[in-house]
Amino acid sequence: MAGRYWYLEKNKTPEMVEACIQFEESMGNDPIRIARALKFKGDNGIINRLQLDQEISPLQYKVKEKLTEELDDTLGDKLVTIGCITILILIILFTLIGIYALFSWVF
CA distance 96 to 32: 48
Q: What is the pLDDT of residue 20?
A: 84
Q: Which amino acid is at 31?
A: P
Q: Is 3:23 a contact under the CB 8 Å cutoff?
A: yes
- At residue 14, the pLDDT reads 86
- Whether 37 shows a pLDDT value over 70: the answer reads yes
Is the pTM value of this prediction over 0.75? Answer: no
pLDDT of residue 104: 94
Specify the 3-state DSSP secondary structure of 11.
Answer: coil
Smallest CA-to-CA distance from 57 within 4, 2, 7 is with 7
Q: Residue 100: what residue type? A: Y
pLDDT digits (tens, 9 = 90+) for 71-106: 555 677 788 899 999 999 999 999 999 999 999 999
Calculate ∠ Cα 40-42-45, nearest 5°.
115
CB atoms within 10 A of CB 31: 18
